[in-house]
Structure 1
């Protein structure tokens, strides 16, 4: 019976589980892959300028102090915001000038003041005039006690975010950089990011895909963000492993239709140096674009995270990213009616977000249209209601199973009636012809002898006769044990 009850309960539960999903709403959609929208709001343009303050001490003629200041642009590339505070990861070449700008400033001020021909480059030169040449050599760094020039060099880094209308740029400084131009550098803002929620960020992947031909996207700016300059996105594919003499992971088109290293190398020279390489699987940053000329490779994400850790900068996501990703999921699954309020919320948190504004415009245009899945679901005719018979059958089986279980419990808990032993009747002995008072001795509990007496009316003049209550044998007056079964007798 217990097995039947369990089987009935299992069948009922199965029917209920099969019937319930028909009444539940559809599960949430997974975030689509192969997109760059998660990263592009956090892509920025980085421009670096060496600012030189130089004072020339002219001792040749009348003592004069000639002061000049020069701004020498040396880099323009792409960076990525990695936390709401606005910290940016880019390449060293975008933040540190590899040339000695003090030499350039010395050549320039000498040529301007003394009216001599000196190439305006980063090389030290000699003049035919010995006196002028002596003063020129004393102007070049490093500074000595007899120096004729006092030079102060600083680096101005400006970051232009992907906002509309375009801003004047934010001032940054480099706090950590690798040893070579194509190594990561970490930039931090000189003033905190505006707004209580900070800036949009890009998610960093855990590792680089190992599979050859893995599709990726490269996103960056070829100029300052503005109405006429939007982010540039190029598709690329990772080649297998590294190659001898090549720094970073190479690129290669698996179909060999495009020479991807040449294509990407040209983009590096135009402003995509340090651009994030975005994995097609989940839209996370897997590296940075490096190289230039006729070749380009990818610096892996582990080098990026190692430099961030050395700079004590923790990459993390913020409130803007949470709201944006939720709206983005609805947008890419064509739930435009639900996506529009999400993008509006993002713009409230971070006004001017170009990507959110563009997607909001598209969502509003398609809201309620034939492509809007939310409208289709609302406008669809009501589907047939779920039949009641599975629930009725399940309820009946559950009721039967419950009744069976109650019956089993009742049977187990019902008290058992004690079974009375059959009454022992005296067996008259054929040798006893007289009647007398009889004493009946019954068996007591095991290992105890508690005699119970029963009075029987007999002839008054006859002597009493005893019988064993165990086997019924007649006992004599002096017997203490039954001679047949050995049971003890107590009178």
Structure 2
């Protein structure tokens, strides 16, 4: 059994309507016996009643042609009525052609029936009046008048109407109309209005399954309930694809006629022929925004949006019902004396014992990292074996900016000093020490004088040497830097 999701019809029920069609017939009966007399009468004759749905916010209604166009001639009904009233004879008020025993009266009656002939005794003027009753609360007692724009060639073909008065603000709820009838669609709902709608008479819903999937007929086991639904003024009801909650067609049939789905492609063709387009309106956008929160039971989020829907369309019956339920559930609280629910502990909460263990492990890791670093710094401070231990720093100055060079001591005054690479590009400034007693920098040196890192710092003819890798002072006659191990001759 295919699923029918809860709330799958909520997108369609606000746009469901009931359609009632009547033929307004004005008839004039002529009596030429003696003095010519005529009798004028007007009748509103039921043509059809059924369901339909709105596809545009200004009120564009789609229903079945059989709902608004009867196969029976209203003029025959009017002829029977006016002839029986004027000549005081018994003729049933129906759509059948009858005969009278009186030859003269029978001849006049046959001349009254349409079509009009030269010796016609009756003249008819017909106009179809269609009234639409949307699902609203409070309901519109007189409904909305609609113009019949297009009908089909069969009772199951789509008919297109447009509300002529009352849709100027374009706030009627609409249904989402599918693009096409998918080949895999099987699970559906049929939604219609067998009576004039109200809060106590909402749309009726029947589940149904297409057989074959994507076809135009329903499973044989479901035809009995569909026939009963359609016989109760259900022709023209919307058929909803449960998977997408979209209208995929309308249904007709019942009684002796098979239950048949008219696909959405035919509906769209009829709209194009009537120069109309299916579209959603602002009320639908607000309403469907609220539906997401409402069906997920986030009532606090749904309430303000539903309230906004009702400010735009106060008679939106479904929004009223959802708002009432949302407010009741948001305000629900435990009954007096009832035990309040205890908070549930999170499954991810950590126990105090576990937190203590984590702290101990963290301390051990810090100790394991800090001890080797401390020993390494101590070994560097004491100097490597065979090296002259570094002397204490007497003064501290700023290492020359990146890219500067060290200058050989004692250049001749006015001559351009010879430079040696002091640091790699990209290394930041680092402090250097000034050797005690080194004296002032020779003339022409830029910045502070750079002295050795010990008593014998100015070896090799008084030339101060520094490691080209790390920038630290090289020990006397050292072949490798005592700090980074870089060869002294590179």
| Residue in 1 that maps onto 2:204 | 232
**Alignment counterpart, residue 291 of structure 1, candidates 238, 247, 253:** 253
8 Å CA contact 2:58, 2:172 repeated in 1: yes
8 Å CA contact 2:135, 2:197 repeated in 1: yes
**Alignment counterpart, residue 124 of structure 1, candidates 93, 97, 104:** 97
Structure 1 stretches lacking a partner, 5+ long: 1-31, 243-247, 254-258, 372-378, 390-409, 415-491
| Residue in 1 that maps onto 2:235 | 273
Give the Cα separation in 2 of the matches to 1:66 and 1:279: 54
Q: Quick one: structure 1 residues 306 and 55, their matched pair in 2 at CA, closer, same or farther if it must change by over 3 Å?
A: same
Could you tell me how far 1:369 is from its partner in structure 2? 4.5
| Residue in 2 that maps onto 1:472 | none
Secondary structure of the structure 1 residue equivalent to 2:128: strand
Tell whether 2:147 aligns with 1:170: no
| Residue in 2 that maps onto 1:50 | 23
| Residue in 2 that maps onto 1:78 | 51
Tell whether 2:195 aligns with 1:220: no
Could you tell me how far 1:236 is from its partner in structure 2? 1.1
Could you tell me how far 1:192 is from its partner in structure 2? 4.9
Could you tell me how far 1:117 is from its partner in structure 2? 3.0
Could you tell me how far 1:137 is from its partner in structure 2? 2.5
Deviations 1:154-197 (A, max 9, x none): 111110011111112000121111101111000011225053x4
Deviations 1:132-165 (A, max 9, x none): 2332222222223432212111111110011111
| Residue in 2 that maps onto 1:139 | 112
Give the Cα separation in 2 of the matches to 1:227 and 1:211: 35
Could you tell me how far 1:370 is from its partner in structure 2? 7.8
How many residue pairs match? The answer is 343
8 Å CA contact 1:118, 1:125 repeated in 2: yes
Give the Cα separation in 2 of the matches to 1:282 and 1:370: 35
Deviations 1:406-453 (A, max 9, x none): xxxx99999xxxxxxxxxxxxxxxxxxxxxxxxxxxxxxxxxxxxxxx
8 Å CA contact 1:33, 1:282 repeated in 2: no
Could you tell me how far 1:348 is from its partner in structure 2? 0.7
| Residue in 2 that maps onto 1:460 | none
Give the Cα separation in 1 of the matches to 2:20 and 2:277: 23
Secondary structure of the structure 2 residue equivalent to 1:315: coil
Q: Quick one: structure 1 residues 116 and 355, their matched pair in 2 at CA, closer, same or farther if it must change by over 3 Å?
A: same
**Alignment counterpart, residue 33 of structure 2, candidates 60, 66, 75:** 60
8 Å CA contact 2:7, 2:295 repeated in 1: no
Secondary structure of the structure 1 residue equivalent to 2:91: coil
8 Å CA contact 1:34, 1:280 repeated in 2: no
Secondary structure of the structure 2 residue equivalent to 1:249: coil
Tell whether 2:338 aligns with 1:364: no
Could you tell me how far 1:316 is from its partner in structure 2? 0.4
Tell whether 2:307 aligns with 1:307: no
Deviations 1:93-145 (A, max 9, x none): 11112211111211221122112233433233333333223322222222234
| Residue in 1 that maps onto 2:78 | 105
Tell whether 2:283 aligns with 1:320: yes
Could you tell me how far 1:61 is from its partner in structure 2? 4.0
For the aligned residue pairs, the C-alpha RMSD in angstroms reads 2.9
8 Å CA contact 1:80, 1:201 repeated in 2: yes
How do 1:426-441 residues align onto structure 2 when only pairs under 5 Å count? none
8 Å CA contact 2:16, 2:135 repeated in 1: yes
| Residue in 1 that maps onto 2:133 | 160
Give the Cα separation in 1 of the matches to 2:191 and 2:285: 21
Structure 2 stretches lacking a partner, 5+ long: 335-342, 351-361, 363-422, 428-490
8 Å CA contact 1:250, 1:261 repeated in 2: no
Tell whether 2:250 aligns with 1:282: no
Tell whether 2:66 aligns with 1:93: yes
Give the Cα separation in 2 of the matches to 1:110 and 1:297: 40
Give the Cα separation in 1 of the matches to 2:130 and 2:82: 24
Give the Cα separation in 2 of the matches to 1:192 and 1:57: 40
Deviations 1:271-297 (A, max 9, x none): 211110111112110111111126422
Secondary structure of the structure 2 residue equivalent to 1:125: coil
Deviations 1:33-86 (A, max 9, x none): 861010100000001111111111111244221121112112111110001110
Give the Cα separation in 1 of the matches to 2:424 and 2:109: 115
Give the Cα separation in 2 of the matches to 1:150 and 1:87: 34
Q: Taking structure 1 as the reference length, what is the TM-score of the superposition?
A: 0.65
Could you tell me how far 1:219 is from its partner in structure 2? 0.9
| Residue in 1 that maps onto 2:161 | 187
8 Å CA contact 2:199, 2:317 repeated in 1: no
Secondary structure of the structure 1 residue equivalent to 2:240: strand
8 Å CA contact 2:59, 2:172 repeated in 1: yes
